[in-house]
Structure 1
């Protein structure tokens, strides 16, 4: 065979490979996905609560090494369960579980307010590194308005903000709360949020449902004087309170996205926005209203585009008389306004306490129901220990059924829609043990928007299978390490005939076209 003929055949084989890859990307060799195929793109999250040591650390003052071990145990269990996002509570009450803060160290970490971990480490930096190692996003969960968890003076430091600025707070329900109607309060909270955004490699900022306090019978919120002082053109105090929260949400959104364009901002409101009996746009429910009692107008946040995702806490079973899960899931999916909807599930109720929760399939069926909605793009579970401890077999349901294949978080094209360039030069060889397959590749050219690569996805197909990148069953590995150009497939078998491709992902998980194909037969 002449050198020219060899060259022509190599070129022809290369062109055939390119044709097959392009065909797969535009669907020619992509069959219709089966109705029961698991989603490749889905946010699968868990809240790790630190307030009063709900999840982590299991007790205050454990010591740094024990704290690290406990957090790693949570992350390992969640990784096995298929979780790909962690919402870590880093500011439960105007305090900090992170070092680069102007607020004092949390007593829920060390046992003493203001006392740093011993030996010293930064819990947030540690959590980010460990989560990213496991292919998980880390969202910093911040309680914006809760300033103390009780009224015990010894539980705050002498320089705590409640002591330095006592006129910024009101007391309600046995706690001190920031007064949202004071402009300086909003500026202060923005400063707290932005310290985290600028100083840590987090993936998102996350607020929960604690805005104005949950109502207590016969008790009024003591903010009428603030309303008189800062009316902002409002004559109705309820509308004024909602506007105060709206102003904070808008300011956080603008600030976060200006600082880091890839940063996600999401809120987890109460499961009912408002009831139809009180508002024509409300849901067919009759429970507490986030709009009316907590002054949280989540519908406006979605319509204004201030949040990237909404995560309503639908902590109710199917058929609940006041708040049926199916009614609320339907309502939120109809009002997502193009942003992501992640359903908040009550893992803490999976132990069977209460009507409807004795059915161990309640939460798995809720996940399946949500997946029927095109606008519902994931689930988040409260709280972490109920997954770690496999309460009612929930972790098993996730690990072996609902989340048995890996997934990528859904993309957010309003933040970034430009995919990276594909890797190239993929090589595959059988390892010395005779079965494992070692893959090597090279990073692609810079993306069109010059954004750095963030990681890679490795796919494996059996010979004869279409190169269907939409089927998560084909995902072998997801890494958030842009410097990792090698992967060892230890799941290969003797007489296996495999094809491999690798794609690149950016920070917002936009995915490139596939690399060249490498085919390998293991004798």
Structure 2
């Protein structure tokens, strides 16, 4: 695979002066249910949808994100041509109606994300089937019509009964189909397993409990149902697509300490374990999931669920898997605390203080459109000013790809227009390439990259691209010296980085002279 890289250093003039993480997951959720984020309500034209989606991605790239989590199955429907489920009403206005002009939104969304160097996590809701009973658009081919016995009504919505074994198998088939046909980087579930409790109402699963409960405590039985589908999904994803990750974004409190000594020092009214019947810690311990993204949508000092308590608790309970903290930018301006522009920066700094927390995820995309509290500016100018590689998962892949080979290196232009053109070849035929990472060094004695963040990350989805490095805008501590070394690595689709290839030495006699390539 021959690749001609575009390497811009101009936007990173002080990169070596600022401490930054080499690895960090930085993502935003793009919710499609009820047209929360995309496509906008009433936008059923395919070309307009595409333009709107690309604009969203460009905003996230500008803000420094390296991943998006896009909802492709909001209510047992599909944002792609599915053999199991009808087209989503939030895509075309009527469930079962294909897009016009026809396109495959999922394929399009993945390709556009990868072009921009963004991982694509396919977000599916496991059990929600009808958002508003009697008001939602439901196709005659929808599974609630085909197998009504699999479903229960609760709180004005319709859900799969998680205790129904056939329903479980159906969901597993749907997910297997996605990860086998599409180049998704991860399969992502949110917090809705058993639904949140509604005062005065009982979840109507008496029938399946009588059939399958076998004398178990109902809470234990419900948890076993959720455990069962998580195990089946884990196995199915690995079998269909071994490099595809599996992540869960749970409610922020696993369990309160007054119910379990292992729980957090919180007073949450509902919890994953006791109310949603999702034993997240078990799944992490057993390796059924690869990452957890707890939704910590509370501020520091919150009376029931303080952010500082929960970020510390999750940092100690990820059991070697990745933990990305979910941050609620949608709450901007909702009360006095959330009118404070420092709240999100403080939460980022707190999360970064733990080496067992590997990143942040933001809910949701539309909140960024108005630059709430100036947080877009904070990310662009400070917290995400410099790129970070997505942290690799060694239990999925720990074998490094081969380093790239440099084909050509030349300089052109003068003064502020001086630039270097670089051509490189990725030579590893056994591992798929994700991107290249560019590094700049002031000497050959200091070219270690184990803890060093790259100057630039260059996505690679095609065989060739132009390559330019603007030398006049190199980091100030380097450009004031008289020699410079440029290095590059290859990063595969599992985010494993190769060894460094040193491209070339550049030198200039004095600060006013042009940089020269040393042969």
TM above 0.5, yes or no, is yes
8 Å CA contact 2:209, 2:218 repeated in 1: yes
Q: Please say if 1:382 is aligned against 2:363.
A: yes
Over 3 Å counting, the alpha-carbon distance change for 1:472 and 1:395 in structure 2 is farther
Partner secondary structure for residue 74 of structure 1: helix
Cα deviation, 1:13-36, whole Å, max 9, x if unaligned, reads: xxxxxxxxxxxxxxxxxxxx9996
Inter-partner Cα distance in structure 2 for 1:125 and 1:262 = 18
Inter-partner Cα distance in structure 2 for 1:101 and 1:130 = 24
What is the match of residue 7 of structure 2? none
Partner secondary structure for residue 317 of structure 1: coil
What is the match of residue 434 of structure 2? 454
- Equivalent residues, number: 486
Could you tell which deviates more after superposition, 362-371 or 386-395? 386-395
Over 3 Å counting, the alpha-carbon distance change for 1:481 and 1:459 in structure 2 is farther
Over 3 Å counting, the alpha-carbon distance change for 1:235 and 1:464 in structure 2 is closer
Inter-partner Cα distance in structure 1 for 2:85 and 2:132 = 17
8 Å CA contact 1:318, 1:325 repeated in 2: yes
The offset of 1:440, in angstroms, is 0.9
What is the match of residue 510 of structure 2? none
Inter-partner Cα distance in structure 1 for 2:419 and 2:157 = 58
> Quick one: which of 284, 305, 316 aligns to 2:265?
284
> Quick one: which of 489, 498, 503 aligns to 2:489?
503
Could you tell which deviates more after superposition, 335-344 or 351-360? 351-360
* Aligned residue runs from structure 1 range 187-266, under 5 A: 187-231=169-213, 233-266=214-247
Q: Please say if 1:404 is aligned against 2:390.
A: no
Inter-partner Cα distance in structure 2 for 1:34 and 1:458 = 13
The alignment's C-alpha RMSD in Å is 2.2
8 Å CA contact 1:426, 1:516 repeated in 2: no
Q: Please say if 1:443 is aligned against 2:426.
A: yes
The offset of 1:282, in angstroms, is 0.7
- In structure 2, list runs of 5 or more residues that go unmatched: 1-14, 508-513
8 Å CA contact 1:46, 1:383 repeated in 2: yes
> Quick one: which of 404, 419, 426 aligns to 1:423?
404
8 Å CA contact 2:296, 2:328 repeated in 1: yes
What is the match of residue 368 of structure 1? 349
Inter-partner Cα distance in structure 2 for 1:451 and 1:506 = 6
Could you tell which deviates more after superposition, 464-473 or 121-130? 464-473
Inter-partner Cα distance in structure 2 for 1:222 and 1:143 = 20
Cα deviation, 1:231-255, whole Å, max 9, x if unaligned, reads: 2x45211111111011011111111
* Aligned residue runs from structure 1 range 100-115, under 5 A: 100-115=82-97
> Quick one: which of 73, 81, 88 aligns to 1:99?
81
Inter-partner Cα distance in structure 2 for 1:160 and 1:201 = 26
* Aligned residue runs from structure 1 range 266-415, under 5 A: 266-287=247-268, 288-349=270-331, 351-354=332-335, 356-415=337-396
Could you tell which deviates more after superposition, 64-73 or 461-470? 461-470
Over 3 Å counting, the alpha-carbon distance change for 1:342 and 1:444 in structure 2 is same
Inter-partner Cα distance in structure 2 for 1:400 and 1:472 = 20
Over 3 Å counting, the alpha-carbon distance change for 1:66 and 1:445 in structure 2 is closer
Partner secondary structure for residue 467 of structure 2: strand
Over 3 Å counting, the alpha-carbon distance change for 1:493 and 1:34 in structure 2 is closer
Inter-partner Cα distance in structure 1 for 2:473 and 2:380 = 23
What is the match of residue 520 of structure 1? 506
Partner secondary structure for residue 486 of structure 2: strand
* Aligned residue runs from structure 1 range 172-191, under 5 A: 172-191=154-173
Cα deviation, 1:467-504, whole Å, max 9, x if unaligned, reads: 34356664223213363475222464599554211111
Partner secondary structure for residue 321 of structure 1: coil
Cα deviation, 1:75-111, whole Å, max 9, x if unaligned, reads: 0010011101100000000111112442111111111
What is the match of residue 19 of structure 1? none
Partner secondary structure for residue 85 of structure 2: coil
Inter-partner Cα distance in structure 2 for 1:472 and 1:399 = 20
8 Å CA contact 1:329, 1:343 repeated in 2: yes
What is the match of residue 457 of structure 2? 477
Over 3 Å counting, the alpha-carbon distance change for 1:277 and 1:493 in structure 2 is closer
Partner secondary structure for residue 500 of structure 1: strand
8 Å CA contact 1:426, 1:515 repeated in 2: no
Inter-partner Cα distance in structure 2 for 1:300 and 1:137 = 26
Partner secondary structure for residue 131 of structure 1: helix
Q: Please say if 1:141 is aligned against 2:123.
A: yes
The offset of 1:123, in angstroms, is 1.1
The offset of 1:342, in angstroms, is 0.4
Over 3 Å counting, the alpha-carbon distance change for 1:334 and 1:53 in structure 2 is same
8 Å CA contact 1:78, 1:388 repeated in 2: no
Partner secondary structure for residue 335 of structure 2: coil
What is the match of residue 9 of structure 1? none
Cα deviation, 1:151-207, whole Å, max 9, x if unaligned, reads: 126610111111110010000111100000011011000011111101111100000
Partner secondary structure for residue 380 of structure 1: strand
Inter-partner Cα distance in structure 2 for 1:67 and 1:161 = 27
